[in-house]
Amino acid sequence: MTQAPVQKTMAASDWALLAILSIVWGGSFLFIGVAVRELPPLTIVAIRVATAASALLLVLKLMGENLPRSREAWTAFLGMSILNNVIPFTLIVWGQSHIASGLASILNATTPLFTVIVAHYLTADERLTGQKFAGVIVGFVGVAVMIGAAAFVALDTSILAQLAILGAALSYGFSGVFGRRFKTMGIPPLATATGQVTVSSALLLPAALLVDRPWTLAMPSTGAILSLAALGLVSTAFAYLIFFRLLARAGATNVGLVTFVIPVSAILLGVLILGETLAARHIVGMALIGAGLILIDGRLVTALNARFTGREPATRGNG
């Protein structure tokens, strides 16, 4: 299928949406951090997508829109639900059962590193340049610093949890590229968001019932219930409305930059509310990942180069 072209630069309104998206997704790590203390991962993920699906179906009805009925559309929803919900949500929640939310958000910030690689091989207009490649290398050095030398000795639970978050980031990288087809198919962002979480609910609810047997679990606290509600309504339903609109306008690589800002809010919330701390190597690793993302984005590098050479920066894409 021919993919729709994307704009290479982002307008001020796109940057505003990106900032909002970073805040609501940053909050998701806090909400998960609260809920995972009382509930198993699959139950959390199933409730998250079911809540989001219910909210988005209601919004879709109020807006007078309908979900497409073609097999092609629902096949695409299935693929997007697996890549953008089922795999990453489950891996992140399981990972946060064993590591701090701030650390999880930093590792999740590697999404653009994976996205530029996936986009290079699977798209025609988001190619990997030398500068982007350098950014990927620097970013993954940061990941290696964060995980530490212990990974080469033994794969303990903490390291496996960190690898799970990286697996989620890789899945998000594929989903960012896969999701571009919805614009070509003429499916609006609201219908896309609703379709994918609806399919995700159909996949995850039976799995949670079978594996976790939630009726045998203790009643969660008010804090956990409110966190689940916020996770589904704010960090999923509302977030995906923004995500798919940005994806259609700015492309997978640009939208992937949201994960650069997410750790800031996630770390602050984790420290202030959950009492979490980060080791020195995590801060160093985050700085290296940030440097890699700056190289991938390219805007700051271009602006600095123009300042020192006295030339006006040309209108260009990332990297």
**pLDDT tens, position by position, 90-108:** 999 999 999 988 889 888 8
CA 115 – CA 118 distance, rounded (Å) = 5
Instruction: State the virtual CA torsion across 7, 11, 13, 16 in degrees, nearest 10.
Output: 100
Q: Who contacts 213 (Cβ-Cβ below 8 Å, separation ≥6)?
A: none
- Comparison of pLDDT for 240 and 229, the residue scoring more: 229
pLDDT at residue 134 tops 60: yes
**Predicted confidence band of residue 316 (pLDDT cuts 50, 70, 90):** very low
Burial 91-130 (b: 16+ CB within 10 A, else e): bbbbbbbbbbbbbbbbbbbbbbbbbbbbbbeebeebebbe
Question: What average pLDDT score do residues 37-65 get?
Answer: 94
What is the Cα–Cα distance from 167 to 287, expressed in whole angstroms? 21
Cα 283 vs. chain centroid, distance in angstroms?
20
Could you give the CA distance from residue 25 to residue 241 in angstroms, rounded to a whole number? Answer: 12
Report d(CA 108, CA 32) in Å as an integer: 14
Q: What does the H/E/C string look like for 235-276?
A: HHHHHHHHHHHHHHHHHHHHHHCHHHHHHHHHHHHHHHHCCC
In the chain, domain spans: 12-309
Which pLDDT value is given to residue 310?
A: 65
Angle 101-45-156 from CA coordinates, rounded to 5°: 50
Q: What is the pLDDT of residues 215-227, one digit of tens each?
A: 899 999 999 999 9
Give the model confidence (pLDDT) of 143-167 as tens digits.
888 877 666 666 788 889 999 999 9
- Of the pLDDT bands very low, low, confident and very high (cuts 50, 70, 90), residue 213 is very high
pTM flag (> 0.85): no
Rg of the chain, C-alpha, whole Å? 19
* pLDDT greater at residue 290 or residue 247: 290
Query: The tokens 């609703």 sit on which residue?
Result: 194
The pair of three-digit structure tokens given for residue 14, joined into one six-digit string:
């796109």
Cβ(304)–Cβ(151) under 8 Å? no
